Amino acid sequence: MGKWKDLMIQGMEIKGLAESTIYNYTLEMRKLIKHYKKDPSKLKLEDLILYQHFLVKNNVSKCRFKMSVASMRYFYKHTCPMEWDIESVHYQKEAKRLPVVFSKDEIQRILSNTIFLKHRIIILFAYSAGLRMSEVLNLKVADIDSDRMLIHVHLGKGLKDRYTPLSPRLLEYLREYYKQDRHLIKDYLFPGRNGRMERTGSRKSFKKCLKRAGITKYGTFHTLRHSFATHLLEDGINLLVVQKLLGHCSIKTTMIYLHVATNYIVSSHSPLDTLYFPTKKQDDR
């Protein structure tokens, strides 16, 4: 990408986009340029649409397609504006799927099959406080307020700060973990080579944990956050409270969990149960 790469990265850094977003947008633009083998400023709207068709024909994932469109829209809107309208590069229509949720029994099995204390605590943060993986790994020692029993989440999705409750059980594990790894913990709660622990290691350990727990349903680390929200609703916590704990801007985003919370579904009876069925003896008559 040459100069365009530097300009694009500088613009995204100025705008304050997340490191993962900067990496993914740059990667997708490199793939586009490699496909055509020409300067991106020479490409036309028709080229981008043909590239989209190429991605569809090669059965790329919905996530990859969405990231490709987002990267092109950013590049041709902010880095290299063109005469044609970049909004003509459309996203695919997305299926409205409900989130996968672990049951409380499955959460217990996951925790029972976590070998290392550090990995168990990372899972506990996600489930007990509804944190995303990036939010867990970005936690610092100073973010844990044991006096007020709160966790301070800095610059979550949308660059928003929020507080979420600190579970007493989690605090017990944290104190044990801190005693064990005090010599390693300086700033970040989960240190790694580049300051904090990387996502890749957390994802791999969680997948292995699911396998050991014998959980066959499709679930990712983010499923822990879905489970946090759903279980709160099932326990009678107000939807607005759940919205604030998750850090959602719109209540509509949080309302999706009403579709998977069992108390909202099971409390409604089937119309079949209101029908009159004669007994077997009455049928014989």
Enzyme catalytic residues? 132, 157, 222, 225, 248, 257
- How far apart are the C-alpha atoms of 276 and 11, rounded to whole Å? 68
Identify whether the C-beta of residue 121 lies closer than 8 Å to the C-beta of residue 100. Answer: no
* DSSP states of 60-73: --HHHHHHHHHHHH
Please give the structure tokens belonging to residue 280. Answer: 């077997």
Beta strand segments in the chain, E: 144-145, 150-153, 162-165, 191-192, 195-196
- How far apart are the C-alpha atoms of 103 and 224, rounded to whole Å? 10
CA 162 and chain centroid, separation: 17
Other Cβ atoms less than 10 A from the Cβ of 244: the count is 13
* Whole-Å CA distances, 175 to 1, 107, 131: 48, 22, 19
Please give the structure tokens belonging to residue 59. Answer: 């059965």
- How far apart are the C-alpha atoms of 232 and 227, rounded to whole Å? 8
Please give the structure tokens belonging to residue 133. Answer: 């993986």
Phi, psi of 163 (to 5 degrees): -110, 145
